[in-house]
Chains A and B, each alone.
Chain A
Amino acid sequence: MQTLLMHLNTNNDMFKLNLTIALRNLWKNKTSSMINVSGLAIGLASCMLLLLYVSYEWSFNKQTKDDKNVYQVMINFDGPAGSISGTGTSTPNTIAPALKETYPAVKAASRIGDADTRLIANGRNSFKKIGRFADADILKIFDYTFIAGDEATALNAPNNIVVTASTAKLLFGTTDVLNRSVRFEDRVNLKITGVIRDLPDNTSIKLDYLMPWTLFENLYEWTKRPMWTNNNWTTLVRLNPDANAEMLNASIKGMIKKHVADATSSPMIFPFSRVHLYGTFTEGKSTGGEIEQLRLFMGLAIGILLIACINFMNMATAKSEKRAKEVGIKKTIGATRASLISQFLIESLVLTLCSAVMAIVLVEVFLPLFNNLLGIKMNIVYANPYLWMSLIGIVLFTGVVAGSYPAFYLSSFNPLQVLRKRRSGRGMWSVSLRQVLVVVQFTFAVILIISTTVIYRQIQYLKNIPLGYDVNQLVELPQDGQLEAKFELLKERLMKSGAIQGICQLSGSMADYNSNFWGMEWPGSTETDRHMVFSQLATTYDFAKTTGLKLVEGRDFSRQFSSDTSAMMLSVSAVKVMNLVHPIGKIVKYQGDLRRVVGVFQDFIWGAPYRKQDPMVVAFRKEGTGYVTLRLNPANTPSANLAVVERIVKDINPAYPVEFKFVDELYGQKLKSQKILGLLSNIFGGLAIFISCLGLFGLAAYSAEQRTKEIGVRKVLGASVANLMQLLSLGFLKMVVLAIVIAIPVANYMMNSWLKKFDFHTGISWMIIVMAAIGTIAIALLTVSYQAYKAAKANPVDALKYE
C-alpha cells in the first residue's frame, strides 16, 4: 500500500515537473508559442463561431418537446398531367379543424395567422409588434413556458390574449400583467390571460403576442366562411407519438377535392423541424434547401480547424527534432518510453488548452459583431453539455494528434543516435509528412480564395441585373386602418405637399413575389394553356408612373377610361407565352371575369433575382389592395420627404404608427442567403489564409534555424544573401505551387456546380484563378522571405562557433 502511494506520488511529481517544463518551454519560445497558440485559437474560434451558426440553423423549429411529432401542412398544386407544379406553405382555414375531427392520429391542429406586425396598446403606450391569431391547440403543439396564466384555458375566450415577457415589459414595464387589459388595433380590448417566456430566435413561428382564432373570425367576418381553396394561413399539427405520417398523408391527399370538385390542390404534412432547412420542393418532394449551404459552412468549419491543427502539428514536429537530444539524455538517466510519451503529450495538451481558453474569449468578443452581420441572435449556452463535450473533444483530439508524432516517434530513439553530435538524416518520413500537410493546408486556402471571389462576383452580378423598374426613392407602407377608405384624400394631400412624385395602391409588395394563379383563358388558348402559371399583382391607377415600370405597348390604367376598372396589363413574357401577336385590346378571361388588355410592360424582377421571372398579369382591382407605394420627390432629401409623408399619414390614420420600407432595401434582402454565404466565406476564407501563413511563417523560422550551420558554411564559401534566400524559400514555394495546382480543378468544379443553381450567373474567368494563384504565391513568398532574409543576413561566425 505504502509503495503504491509512493509510486503514485512520484508519478504525480513527474507530472508536475513535466508540466512546469512545458510551461517554461512555452515561455522561452515566446514567438513560436504565440504563433502556435494564437493560430490554433483563431482556428478554434472560427470553427466554434461557424458551428454555433450551424447549430443555430440546425435547431431551427426544434425547441419544442417531441418536435418529431409536429408537422406543417403543405399544399401541393396540380400541374399538367398529374404532376405537381409547386408546393406552398399557405393553407386554407378548413384543413386544421377537419384534420382534427377526422383523424385520431392528429392530437392537435391549429391554424396560425401571418406574422404581420399589428398595433397593441396599453393606454397611449402603443407599439406595432408581431401578433398572431391561432387556435387554442397551438398551446398543445408548442410547449410555450407560461410565466403566468393557465395554459389550458388561456386562448379559450375570443377576447383573450397571451403576451411574451418582453411584450409585457414593453407595454407595462413588468411581467406581472395577468388580467390586465390591452387594446388591439384600436378596435377591441383584450384581457391578458397568459404571459409566456420569449420565444427563441430560430423559430418559424415568431410572435410577440398570441390571440385566439375566434377573435380573428369576429374581427374579419369573411374568415368565418370555410374556404377550401383560399390558401392564406399556416396550419400546424401535432400527431400522436405512434402515428404514421406516411399513411396519414395518403389518406388526406384528396381532402380538398372532396369538398371542392374542381380544386387543384392537395394537402400534405411535412415535418415542421425540416421546413426551414429542407424547404425546397419539386414534385411534392423535399429536394434540399438551406441545408446545402449549412453543409458548406460545416465543411468550412472543419477545414479551418484542420488548417490550424496542421500548423500545430507542423510546429510540434519541427521543434521535436531539436528535442531529440533531450530524449537521449533522459533515456540514459532512466526515463522510460512511457514517461517520455506522457511528457510530450502533456506539452501539446497544455498548448491546446491555452488555445481553447483564448478561443472562447475570442468567440465572446466577436459574437455580437457576428450576430450583427448576420442579423440573428445567437449566444453561447455555457450550461450546454454538448458545448463542453465538443470543446474538450476538439482539445483532446488536437492535442493528442499534434503531440503524437514527437511522443511516439522521438521516444523510440536510441539515445546514442541523438547524443552523438547530431542526428544524421533527419527522418525522411517526418519531412515528407510535413510537406504533405502544408500542401493540404494551402490547397484548402486556395480553394477558399477562388470560391470567395466567385461568390462575391456572383452576388455583384445579381445586384446588377436590371430590375425593370426604378427601385430608388421608392417607399412602401401597409394600407392599414383608414388608409384604404381614405386613399383618395391621402393621395391628394401627399401630392400637394410636394414630398412625392407618384403614389399607387398595390395588392402586395413590389419587392416580393406574393401571388400567382393559373387557369387563364385567352383567344387561341388551349386546354394545356390553362395550366400555365402566371404571377399576379392588383393595382389601381398610376402603377407604371409611380414605379417607373417601362411600358412597351399601350398604356397604364387611366381615369379617362371608365372601362379600365376591368382592364389588365401583361408582361412581355406573358404576351410571348400566350402567343398574342397584337395583345392590346384582346379580351382575356381572368379569375372568371373578362378583361381587356390595355398595356404591355417590360418584365421586372419580382421573385428571386437569379430565377427567370414568371409571366405576369397586372389587373385593376381596388378591393385587393393592401400596400401603398410612393415615389419620393428627388428634389428634397429622403428624410425631409418622409417627415412630411409621416405627418400626413398619421393625420389621416392616427391609430397606426407609420412604417415605411424602402423597396431597394427589401430587394436587397432577397439575396440574404447568398450574402451570408459571401460574408462568411470572406471572413473565414481570410482567416484560413491567415492561419496558413502563420504556420508557414513558423515553419520557415524553424527551417532557417535548423540550417543555421549550413547557411554559415555556405556564406563562408561565398554565397550571397540572394542565393541563400532562394535556397530557403524555394522548398516552401514548391509546396504552395503544388497546392495551387491541386486546388484549381477542385475549386473550379465546386464553384461551377454552385453557379448552376442560378438561372443567371457569371462564369469563372481565368483571371480569377490566375489572380488567386499569384496572390497566394505572393503572400507565401512574403511570409517565408522574411525568415529567409533574417537567416541569410546573420553573421556566419555565430552559426559556426558552436561544436
Chain B
Amino acid sequence: MIKLQNIEKYYAAKGLKSYILRHVSTTINQGEFVSIMGPSGAGKSTLLNILGMLEEPTYGTYEFMGEDVTSLNERKRIELYRNHIGFVFQAYHLIDEMTVAENIEAPLLYKKIGSAERRSRVADMLDRFNIVGKKDLFPNQLSGGQQQLVGIARALAAQPSIILADEPTGNLQSAQALQIMDLFKKLNEEENITVIQVTHSEVNAGYGSRILHLLDGVIKEDVNLSESLKP
C-alpha cells in the first residue's frame, strides 16, 4: 500500500543541510499496524507527516496505493484525505465550534455523502464508541480520552483504508491510552485498516505488528512483532 524509496528531508540553513530524514526506504502493506518509535528529534513526526502528505520530502519517491504521490496538487491530496486517510492527533484537534456529532459528520459532508447515509454512519460511530449521550456536547465539555475517542470516530467515519496517528495517547492517562490502543488493534484486526502511529511508549508499540525504530533520521531497526512473537 505504501512504498517509500530513499526518502530524504533536510532544511538548508546558512549553507548547512540539517537532515531530518535520511535514506528512508520501506514498504507498508494493507492491514499492517506499524509503530514508529525513537527518541525526540529522530524524525518520527516528519516521517508521519510525509506519509500523510502534509509535508513533501526533499528527495525520494513515495507511492501510495500504487500511485506516485511525492508531490501532489492540493485537489488530489484532498481527494485522498476524503477517501483513504484518517488522521488522529495528539492534541485531538477537534473543531471547537462543532458538537461531537457534527465533528464526526464533517468529513462525510466533505465527501458529499447523502444525509440518510451520514446520519446512519454518525449514529453507528456514536454507538460504537459509547458516546451517544455526548453527541450534542462540545469538545471542551469532554475529557481528554473522550475527545480522542471522538477524534478517532471522526477519522473512521469516512471509512479510510489507513489511519495515521501522531502520538494518539500522548495527552492521555494510561487507562484511557490502553482503551485507545485496544480500539486501534481491533480496527486493524477486524476491519483490516492499516494503522501507522508515532509513539514513545513500548506498551503502545506492543499492540502493533511492526515497529520502525528511527534514530537521527535513519531507520535503525525494522521489527516484525508478529513474526518475532511467533514461536
* A residues whose Cβ falls under 8 Å from a Cβ of B: 6-7, 9-11, 13-14, 17, 21, 24-25, 28, 325-326, 328-337, 339, 414-416, 419
What CA separation (Å) do A301 and B182 show in the bound complex?
65
- Measured CB to CB, the closest approach of chain B to A686, in angstroms, equals 36
Once the chains bind, are B111 and A334 in contact (CB under 8 Å)?
yes
What CA separation (Å) do A335 and B105 show in the bound complex?
12
Which residues in chain B, 62-117, are within 8 Å of chain A measured between CB atoms? 74-75, 78, 81-82, 87, 89, 93-98, 102, 105-107, 109-115
B154 at the interface (CB under 8 A from A): yes
- Measured CB to CB, the closest approach of chain A to B127, in angstroms, equals 21
* Neighbour of A17 across the interface among B54, B78, B102, B158, CB < 8 A: B102
Once the chains bind, are B81 and A332 in contact (CB under 8 Å)?
yes
- Measured CB to CB, the closest approach of chain B to A14, in angstroms, equals 5
Contact residues in A for B222 (Cβ distance below 8 Å): none
Some 27 contacts from A to B, beta carbons below 8 A apart, are A10-B112, A10-B114, A13-B109, A13-B118, A14-B110, A17-B105, A25-B97, A28-B97, A325-B93, A329-B93, A330-B106, A330-B110, A332-B54, A332-B81, A332-B87, A333-B87, A333-B107, A333-B110, A333-B158, A335-B78, A336-B110, A337-B74, A339-B110, A414-B54, A416-B49, A419-B89, A419-B93
Closest 7 CB pairs of A and B: A334-B82, A334-B110, A333-B107, A416-B54, A10-B112, A334-B81, A332-B87
CB-CB nearest in chain A for B49: A416
What CA separation (Å) do A24 and B154 show in the bound complex?
21
What CA separation (Å) do A419 and B88 show in the bound complex?
12
Chain A-chain B contacts (Cβ-Cβ < 8 Å), number: 76
- Measured CB to CB, the closest approach of chain B to A293, in angstroms, equals 48
* B residues whose Cβ falls under 8 Å from a Cβ of A: 49, 52, 54-55, 74-75, 78, 81-82, 87, 89, 93-98, 102, 105-107, 109-115, 118, 154-155, 158
* Neighbour of B106 across the interface among A24, A25, A28, A333, CB < 8 A: A333
What CA separation (Å) do A25 and B97 show in the bound complex?
7
> What would 6 more interface pairs be, CB under 8 Å, given A6-B114, A335-B110?
A9-B114, A13-B109, A326-B95, A333-B110, A334-B81, A334-B111
Once the chains bind, are B87 and A10 in contact (CB under 8 Å)?
no
Contact residues in B for A329 (Cβ distance below 8 Å): 93-95
- Measured CB to CB, the closest approach of chain B to A798, in angstroms, equals 15
What CA separation (Å) do A334 and B109 show in the bound complex?
9
Once the chains bind, are B112 and A333 in contact (CB under 8 Å)?
no
* Residue with the highest number of chain A CB atoms closer than 10 Å, among B89, B96, B102: B96
- Measured CB to CB, the closest approach of chain A to B57, in angstroms, equals 13
CB-CB nearest in chain B for A414: B54
What CA separation (Å) do A416 and B87 show in the bound complex?
12
Contact residues in B for A332 (Cβ distance below 8 Å): 52, 54, 81, 87, 93
CB-CB nearest in chain A for B105: A17
What CA separation (Å) do A13 and B97 show in the bound complex?
17
Contact residues in A for B81 (Cβ distance below 8 Å): 331-334
CB-CB nearest in chain A for B94: A329
* Neighbour of B115 across the interface among A13, A21, A336, CB < 8 A: A13
Contact residues in A for B97 (Cβ distance below 8 Å): 21, 24-25, 28, 326
Once the chains bind, are B112 and A7 in contact (CB under 8 Å)?
yes
Contact residues in A for B89 (Cβ distance below 8 Å): 419
Once the chains bind, are A10 and B115 in contact (CB under 8 Å)?
yes
What CA separation (Å) do A80 and B183 show in the bound complex?
105
- Measured CB to CB, the closest approach of chain B to A704, in angstroms, equals 20
CB-CB nearest in chain A for B154: A333
CB-CB nearest in chain B for A18: B109
Contact residues in B for A6 (Cβ distance below 8 Å): 112, 114
- Measured CB to CB, the closest approach of chain B to A802, in angstroms, equals 10
What CA separation (Å) do A328 and B87 show in the bound complex?
12
- Measured CB to CB, the closest approach of chain A to B90, in angstroms, equals 10
Once the chains bind, are A14 and B109 in contact (CB under 8 Å)?
yes
CB-CB nearest in chain A for B80: A334
CB-CB nearest in chain B for A325: B93
Contact residues in B for A333 (Cβ distance below 8 Å): 81-82, 87, 106-107, 110, 154-155, 158
Once the chains bind, are B78 and A10 in contact (CB under 8 Å)?
no
Known contacts A325-B93, A332-B87, A333-B81; is-contact A10 B106 (Cβ 8 Å) = no
What CA separation (Å) do A17 and B54 show in the bound complex?
26
Known contacts A17-B102, A326-B95, A329-B93; is-contact A415 B109 (Cβ 8 Å) = no
* Neighbour of A328 across the interface among B75, B93, B111, CB < 8 A: B93
- Measured CB to CB, the closest approach of chain B to A478, in angstroms, equals 72
What CA separation (Å) do A335 and B111 show in the bound complex?
8
Contact residues in A for B113 (Cβ distance below 8 Å): 10
Once the chains bind, are A21 and B93 in contact (CB under 8 Å)?
no
What CA separation (Å) do A104 and B87 show in the bound complex?
86
CB-CB nearest in chain A for B74: A337
Once the chains bind, are B110 and A416 in contact (CB under 8 Å)?
no
Once the chains bind, are A415 and B54 in contact (CB under 8 Å)?
yes
What CA separation (Å) do A752 and B102 show in the bound complex?
61
What CA separation (Å) do A399 and B188 show in the bound complex?
47
- Measured CB to CB, the closest approach of chain A to B112, in angstroms, equals 4
Contact residues in B for A21 (Cβ distance below 8 Å): 97-98, 102
- Measured CB to CB, the closest approach of chain A to B171, in angstroms, equals 10
Contact residues in A for B54 (Cβ distance below 8 Å): 332, 414-416
Contact residues in A for B55 (Cβ distance below 8 Å): 416
